[in-house]
């Protein structure tokens, strides 16, 4: 069944990649809403309330799609990978259990927030939003524990040999890989949301000439969240690289197309891996960069693909290009965010700076490019394992007939849903300022 495995991976990738956009916006948008509403409560300037209400409308749409696509995923874990779930469902379950509480809390308070503008007092309404923001972030952090265990299956030998005493919660939440993964990916949600929203206002300013106070303030709020998260990304990213180098050297080698184990390994920028000849074409090498990135020691040895059996190599093209895309997009957004705040020091410095506004338009999708690319590096870099060095993805896949239909159905369903959603979002306008 060669096609079951490819089809299942494609369906999983498409569903998760789709869901992730809404999950990230579900984490990021409440932060923007809360800042706007807090400014309203303090200053009583009606612009800020309009802003919070407009963002809340968008969040209502996005959250609904995130909720249903997330539900689909909880089923798809079993539908596509039943043998993985039969083996490890109880182990990753505690992460999903806690995430379930967080998500439930988020859904309750989002209902209060979206429909409660006239039924709750100002502070009570803002507090509802705060609960949404906190539980959204908690969901993100908790659910990553499941992925972190698949990357670093702590205690798996106990699960195999002495299952009746295996403590899954301890394995999940004492996993050192979890913290850095969850912080790095949750910050990415804020960055992706902030740049996506900022781009909308930059587009309005540069193309449509919409530069009123309301929109310029909206842009500033987005960029405040944007610059903090974008600057934090390389720092947490570096910690992630150290973690990956220690726990999944195969992944690091494939991200960097490092064929030969070496001391003082260079950091590769760009380039096209050529696995057949074990070389990289057109790449730029920063001497000793990888050794430094992975260990802080420029002369340290970094494991290459030569120590990995050929049938355990992840897909070099996908991991290498995704890694480059993640870092590249992350760097560009960070620099543009800093540029924005330098320009903002002058009066009207951002309002009339068309070059900056165009740069922000370009950055609009880049936060999500970075987020999705980072996720692809993480998951494709784990291949061919579904649980690193324990269970192969091919051994986990469903034997069921009909996966061709389900993968087609999901592509059609989510594509149509995405198109309809973008169209709906595009119609949400600010009330006249």
Partner 1 sequence: MNPANNWLGLPVLHAVGLTLLLALTAYVLTAGADFGGGIWDLLANGPRRDKQREVIAHAIGPIWEANHVWLIFVVVIMFTAFPPAFGALSIALFIPFHLLLGGIVLRGGAFIFRSHEEVASPRWRRWAAIFGAASVISPFILGATLSAVSSGGIRVVNGYVTVNTALAWFSPLSLLVGALTLAICAYLAAVYLTVETQGEIQEDFRRRALGAWAVVAILPAILLILVARHSPLLWAHFASLEARVPMAIGIVLAIGSGWAMWARRYKLGRILAMAEVAILLWGWAFAQWPYIIFPDVTAANSAAPVPTLRFLLNTLPYGFAILIPSLIFLFAVFKGKEPLHPSA
CA distance 343 to 210: 19
**CA–CA–CA angle 344, 349, 353 (5° rounding):** 120
Q: Which of 45, 57, 210, 247 binds partner 1 (CB under 8 A)?
A: 57
- Cβ proximity of 316 and 273 under 8 Å: yes
Site for partner 1 in 306-325 (CB under 8 A): none
Q: What Å distances lie between residue 94 and 90, 100, 198, 375, CA to CA? A: 7, 10, 36, 22
- Cβ proximity of 210 and 204 under 8 Å: yes
Site for partner 1 in 61-100 (CB under 8 A): 61, 63-65, 67-72, 74-79, 82-83, 85-91, 93-94, 96-98, 100
* Structure token pair of residue 431: 């009330």
Q: How far is the CB of 81 from partner 1 (least distance, A)?
A: 8
Which is closer to partner 1, CB of 117 or CB of 341?
A: 117
- Cβ proximity of 191 and 367 under 8 Å: yes
Which is closer to partner 1, CB of 87 or CB of 368?
A: 87
Site for partner 1 in 128-167 (CB under 8 A): 159, 163-167
Which is closer to partner 1, CB of 80 or CB of 198?
A: 80
How many residues form the binding site for partner 1 (CB under 8 A)? 78
Which is closer to partner 1, CB of 287 or CB of 409?
A: 409
Q: How far is the CB of 67 from partner 1 (least distance, A)?
A: 6
- DSSP string for residues in 159-175: HHH-GGG--HHHHHHT-
Contact stretch for partner 1 (CB under 8 A) within 59-67, 197-205, 315-323, 366-374: 59-67
Which is closer to partner 1, CB of 281 or CB of 412?
A: 412
CA distance 371 to 216: 26
Q: How far is the CB of 285 from partner 1 (least distance, A)?
A: 46
* Structure token pair of residue 163: 């299952």
In the Cβ-directed half-sphere of 213, how many Cα atoms lie within 13 Å? 7
Three-class DSSP labels, 55-101: HHHHHHHHHHHHHHHHHHHHHHHHHHCHHHHHHHHHHHHHHHHHHHH
110 forms part of the interface with partner 1 (CB under 8 A): yes
Q: Which of 1, 38, 41, 107 binds partner 1 (CB under 8 A)?
A: 107
Q: How far is the CB of 377 from partner 1 (least distance, A)?
A: 27
Q: How far is the CB of 433 from partner 1 (least distance, A)?
A: 18
Site for partner 1 in 336-365 (CB under 8 A): none
Taken as a whole, the chain contains a residue count of 433
Site for partner 1 in 389-408 (CB under 8 A): 398-403, 405-406
Site for partner 1 in 277-306 (CB under 8 A): none
Which is closer to partner 1, CB of 69 or CB of 324?
A: 69
- Cβ proximity of 314 and 384 under 8 Å: yes
Q: How far is the CB of 34 from partner 1 (least distance, A)?
A: 16
Output b/e per residue, 204-235; b: 16+ Cβ within 10 A.
bbbeeeebbebbbbbbbbbbbbbbebbebbee
Site for partner 1 in 161-190 (CB under 8 A): 163-170
Beta bridge partners of 285: 268
Q: Which of 22, 103, 201, 321 binds partner 1 (CB under 8 A)?
A: 103
Q: How far is the CB of 96 from partner 1 (least distance, A)?
A: 5
- Cβ proximity of 394 and 222 under 8 Å: no
Q: How far is the CB of 17 from partner 1 (least distance, A)?
A: 15
Q: How far is the CB of 219 from partner 1 (least distance, A)?
A: 23
């Amino acid at each position: 069944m060669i096609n079951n495995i490819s089809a299942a991976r494609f369906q999983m990738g498409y569903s998760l990649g789709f869901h992730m956009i809404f999950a990230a916006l579900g984490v990021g948008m409440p932060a923007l809403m809360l800042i706007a509403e807090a400014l309203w409560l303090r200053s009583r300037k009606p612009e800020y309330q309009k802003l919070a209400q407009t963002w809340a409308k968008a969040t209502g749409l996005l959250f609904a799609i995130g909720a249903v696509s997330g539900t689909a995923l909880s089923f798809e874990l079993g539908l596509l990978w039943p043998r993985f779930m039969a083996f490890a469902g109880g182990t990753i379950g505690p992460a999903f259990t806690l995430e379930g509480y967080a998500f439930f809390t988020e859904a309750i308070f989002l209902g209060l927030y979206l429909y409660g503008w006239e039924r709750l007092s100002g502070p009570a309404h803002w507090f509802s939003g705060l609960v949404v923001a906190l539980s959204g972030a908690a969901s993100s952090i908790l659910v990553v524990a499941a992925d972190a265990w698949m990357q670093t299956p702590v205690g798996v030998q106990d699960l195999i040999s002495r299952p009746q005493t295996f403590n899954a919660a301890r394995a999940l939440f004492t996993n050192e890989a979890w913290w850095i993964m969850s912080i790095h990916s949750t910050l990415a949600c804020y960055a992706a949301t902030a740049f996506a929203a900022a781009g909308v206002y930059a587009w309005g300013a540069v193309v449509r000439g919409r530069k009123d106070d309301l929109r310029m303030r909206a842009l500033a709020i987005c960029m405040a969240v944007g610059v903090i998260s974008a600057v934090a990304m390389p720092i947490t990213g570096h910690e992630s690289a150290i973690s990956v180098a220690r726990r999944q050297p195969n992944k690091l080698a494939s991200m960097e197309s490092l064929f030969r184990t070496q001391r003082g390994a260079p950091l590769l920028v760009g380039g096209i891996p050529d696995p057949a000849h074990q070389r990289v074409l057109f790449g730029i090498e920063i001497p000793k960069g990888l050794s430094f990135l992975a260990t802080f020691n420029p002369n340290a040895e970094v494991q290459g693909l030569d120590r990995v059996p050929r049938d355990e190599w992840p897909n070099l093209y996908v991991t290498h290009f995704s890694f480059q895309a993640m870092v590249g997009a992350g760097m560009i957004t960070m620099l543009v965010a800093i540029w924005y705040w330098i320009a903002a020091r002058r009066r009207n410095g951002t309002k009339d700076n068309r070059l900056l506004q165009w740069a922000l338009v370009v950055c609009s999708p880049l936060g999500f490019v970075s987020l999705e690319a980072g996720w692809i590096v993480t998951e494709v870099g784990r291949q061919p394992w579904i649980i690193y060095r324990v269970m192969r993805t091919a051994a986990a896949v469903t034997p069921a007939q009909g996966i061709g239909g389900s993968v087609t159905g999901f592509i059609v369903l989510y594509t149509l849903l995405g198109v309809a959603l973008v169209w709906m979002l595009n119609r949400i306008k600010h009330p006249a300022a």
